[in-house]
Amino acid sequence: MICLKSYAKLNLYLHVLGKVSIGKYNGYHLIDSVMVLIKDVYDEISLVESDKLTININIPILNSTIDRVFFYLEKITGLNIKYNISLKKNIPIGSGLGGGSSNAATLLLYFQKKYSISLEVINDIALKVGIDTVFFLKQQSSRVFGLGDILTPINISKKKKFILVVNDGIHISSKGVYSKLYLDNTIKYAIKYNSLDDLLLSTTNDLYETARKINPNIENIINVINSQKNCICSKMSGSGGSCFGIFHCYEDVKIALNNIKNINKNWWYAISELEI
């Protein structure tokens, strides 16, 4: 049996710069974001070669990204890969943490090595499965442009920091958020920053207001996190609804976690070191 970890991600900020109006990506949005892996939060995937393909997931998911991976692998490469796959979902669904995209990328990277599939083909499949899947193929924090498919290194001064992530369990559709996003005709450009603190304090998530209208509790969660002692900032990740706070030291983030657990024991929580 092969056991794989499929990591979550956070968007430290997400700026929407425009929208594609022609071609096969018509309607997609152009972004500038920094995406980081959360190594302490991951789904668990186990694989056993079999005479037929079976996919077992511990929660109900229709048309999972794993189904799409196998569909495009066979369609594009001709490989008829058969496994018994079990997926244990620890990352909340529809949370802005990229669980589905990470699942797809984790499998694609494994199959790329096992069956010597070119990285070009793997990248093509990743784009078809979901744009965020491209980020997870790199397995490292990156600044992300374009549709989310252009990745560059993050060249800023860094100091160790810690993350507290909170999710209230309400599923938010990325498609639903982007479809309701209002964009004016103002020309927007990617911003510049020199340090991690500058990045955190000078950026926002342009999807926040739209997501907040879908789930008003997002605002409450951000305010609760932001009220914790020594919280540098609090934001929403991706299209929501997970929110996070950044702290300088582990002791502060641990105290904040305990405080927020006392506020609502039904929320989902995680803490991790910020790796950038």
Asked if 184 is an active-site residue, the reply is no
| Half-sphere exposure in the Cβ direction for 67 (13 Å, CA) | 6
Domain check: are 109 and 161 in the same one? Answer: no
Same domain for 58 and 159, yes or no, is no
- Of 32, 43, 132, 206, which is the active-site residue? 132
CATH number at residue 128: 3.30.230.10
Active site residue 113: no
Q: What is the mean pLDDT of residues 210-218?
A: 96
> Same domain, yes or no, for 143 and 161?
no
Which residues constitute the domain of residue 111?
Answer: 2-151
pLDDT of the residue at 187 = 65
- Based on the fold, state whether residues 119 and 134 are members of the same structural domain: yes
CA distances to 221, 236, 248 from 230, rounded to whole Å, are 16, 18, 7
- Asked if residue 35 and residue 145 are part of one domain, the reply reads yes
Q: Each residue of 35-64: pLDDT tens digit?
A: 999 999 999 999 999 999 999 999 888 789
Q: What is the pTM of this model?
A: 0.93
Asked which of 125, 151, 177 is the last residue of a domain, the reply is: 151
Encode pLDDT of 221-249 as tens digits.
999 999 999 999 999 999 999 999 999 99
- One domain, residues 139 and 53: yes
* Shared domain check, 163 and 115: no
Q: Which residues, in sequence order, are bridge partners of residue 144?
A: 33, 151
Calpha distance 65→216 (Å, rounded): 28
Domains contained in the chain, number: 2
9 lies in the same domain as 135: yes
